[in-house]
Amino acid sequence: MPNASSLPEPLLKVRGLTAGYDAGPVLFGIDLEVAPAELIALVGANGAGKSTLLGVLSGLVRATSGTVSLGGRDVTNARPEVHVRNGVAHVPQGRRLFGTMSVERNLILGAYLRHDREVRDDLTRVLGYFPALKDKLSRDAGTLSGGEQQMVAIGRGMMARPKLLMVDELSLGLAPNVVERLIDVVQQINRDGTALLLVEQDVLVALDAADRAYVLENGRVALSGPAAEVRDDPGVRKAYLGL
Amino acid sequence: MSAAATPAQLELRGVTKRFGGVAAVDGVTFEIAKGDIVGIIGPNGAGKTTLLNCISGVFHLDGGDIKLNGSSIAGMAPHRVARLGIGRTFQIVKPFGSMTARENVGIGALFGSAQARRGVKQAFALADEVLALVGLKAKADQPVSALTIPDRKRLEVARAVATRPQLLLLDEVMAGLNNVEIDEALEMVRSVHATGVTVLLIEHVMRVIVGVCRRAIVLDSGQVLAQGEPEVVLRDERVIQAYLGERYAKRLKSS
């Protein structure tokens, strides 16, 4: 490597990213990095730009300037399917399952772009993370409880064999003990080698689980660092934890 | 407790609702006094929203009875239940996206209770009052599409409040808000409650239950698992097992 730095090349590297919608820009010059197998929490108020950032990283929202690189390759404004092939899976807010299709088909659809012979093995692996889904494979996804639907959504993301899994609002509408279990699984997925970008309104839950955290405010990174430091930051405690 | 006491504002007796062979709500009995503020909690799939749908007339009961001020409302169509004074919000908000906040709330005011039919002008005056109450006064003329998520939740509450309910059912209006946004939303609920409206709310966020509720009812598998003061209910070992989880319970205790 020509770089003198001893740090490994980050898996994901975002530099000066600006993006938005017809109504106006939402993100203003975001810098962010995710190392391989790192667990990153992305926190901030509603409207701060968290979901928009995930949208840019999965190709659903166009960057107007700045760069996104994955594994050293520039992937700025690549199409969504290219991002998925490159190893980025997006578990959207509200889960967005195909409600009238079976749990199994929803999961298999996560491997839509794959043509290898290991899709079935990966289904077994995903069910290892979510054993509760094993006897519900033939049920319509829409008939599952909210927690089970979130399992399917995360499982569907894993079926793409991502290097980076992005989960938007894991805890939305879920019972506390279900959130606890899902966080355990997400941490296990992370320990097994998948990097994670976790957007979460329950800021304390996210910061407890993460290695590092980024705080977005009005489309800018207001603070970043080790999750424990961010959790103890007086501004964060006041503005997000309500302590 | 005297037998001659005024009846509870809302009274559920053995309320049961089945889907196929599954009893989503299974013999639920409780009362809510006028002016109370009560939280319903419980695992996903416990039947909380189904119960709200039973109360608001979306579902017909398969058993039991629901009374408002002593008269049965079981089997009534949702619009009639609403006109009798039960307002509600929905988990997935569906405002009229191309209309302003004021227009959305005005529709609620126009619908209102039968005794208080309003003209358009009066309805909009009421809408302004309600928008001020929920903290959306400054955004009255904005199209709904320009509102942030917390503001859309406020709008959802405002639409229901504008029907002038005596009892307001709130279905997870704080989901997706962070702690500070929740504290702001709690202020809104307190303001609405202070106007004399009884509140029954569903939430998974214990900050809400502890923050405003005088009583909590825990549903599990369609049945009442526990009820009482939030501080007591949230320490109940059965509730921790079925719903809160050990870590969360610990955190709750330490905060």
Q: Extract the residue ranges of chain B whose pLDDT is less than 50.
A: 1-4
Predicted confidence at residue A51, as pLDDT, reads 93
Q: What is the rounded CA–CA span in Å between residue B30 and residue B217?
A: 9
* CA separation for the pair A126, A116 (Å, rounded): 16
Residue A116 domain flag = yes
Query: Contact at 8 Å (CB) between A121 and A195?
Result: no
Is A82 inside any structural domain?
yes
pLDDT of A3 higher than 50: no
Predicted confidence band of residue A23 (pLDDT cuts 50, 70, 90): confident
- The answer for A 92-151 residues in CB contact with B (under 8 A) is 93, 145-148
One domain for residues A71 and A12: yes
Do the domain assignments include residue A37? yes
Is the pLDDT score of A120 beyond 70? yes
The answer to whether residue A226 is domain-embedded is yes
Q: Are residues A172 and A78 in the same domain?
A: yes
Nearest to A125 by CA among A107, A140, A138, A141: A107
Residue B92's pLDDT is: 81
Q: Are residues A13 and A79 in the same domain?
A: yes
Q: A168 and A83, same structural domain?
A: yes
Region at B70 (left for phi over 0; alpha for psi -120 to 50; beta for the rest): left
Q: Is residue A187 part of a domain?
A: no
Q: Is residue A189 part of a domain?
A: no
Same-domain pairing of A3 and A81: yes
Contacts of B246 in chain A (CB under 8 A): 180
Contacts of B186 in chain A (CB under 8 A): none
pTM summary value: 0.84
Taking the C-alpha atoms of residue B182 and residue A83, their distance in angstroms, rounded to an integer, is 35
The predicted structure's pLDDT at residue A114: 82
Query: What is the structure's pLDDT at A1?
Result: 43
What pLDDT score was predicted for residue B44? 86
Query: Do A83 and A166 have their domain in common?
Result: yes
Do B243 and B249 touch, CB atoms closer than 8 A?
A: no
Domain positions in chain B: 10-210+219-224
Query: Do A167 and A69 lie in a common domain?
Result: yes
Same domain, residue pair A62 and A103 = no
Domain containing A66: what range?
1-87+162-176+194-243
Per-residue pLDDT, B112: 67
Look at residues A132, A159, A186 and tell me which one is the last residue of a structural domain: A159
Whether A183 is in a domain gets the answer: no
Measured CA to CA, the distance from residue A11 to residue A15 in angstroms comes to: 13
Is residue A143 domain-shared with residue A30, that is, in the same domain? no
- pLDDT tens column, A186-222: 999 999 999 999 999 889 999 999 999 999 999 999 9
Task: Provide the number of structural domains found in chain A.
Answer: 2
- Alpha carbons B71 and B250: distance in angstroms, whole number: 43
% of residues, chain A, pLDDT over 90: 79
For residues B82 and A9, give the distance between their C-alpha atoms in angstroms, rounded to a whole number: 60
What pLDDT score was predicted for residue B1?
47
CATH number, position A224: 3.40.50.300
Both tokens of A24, joined, read: 């106006």
Q: What is the reported pLDDT for B2?
A: 45
Structural domain contains residue A102: yes
| A64 and A108 part of one domain | no
Given CATH 2.40.110.10, say whether it is the number of domain B10-210+219-224: no
DSSP B237: H
User: Which residue matches tokens 């959802």?
Assistant: B156
| Region A43-72 average pLDDT | 94
A19 lies in the same domain as A108: no
Q: Do A168 and A233 reside in the same domain of the chain?
A: yes
Q: Average the pLDDT over each of A86-90, A155-159, A171-175 and give the range with the smallest value.
A: A171-175
- The confidence score (pLDDT) of residue B250 equals 83
Q: Do B177 and A172 touch (CB under 8 A)?
A: no
> A118 to chain B nearest CA, in Å?
33
Residues of B in contact with A178 (CB under 8 A): 43-44
- Give the pLDDT score at B234: 94
CB-CB under 8 Å, B177 with A239: no
Cβ-defined contact of A23 to B42 (cutoff 8 Å): no
Query: Which DSSP category does B32 fall into?
Result: E
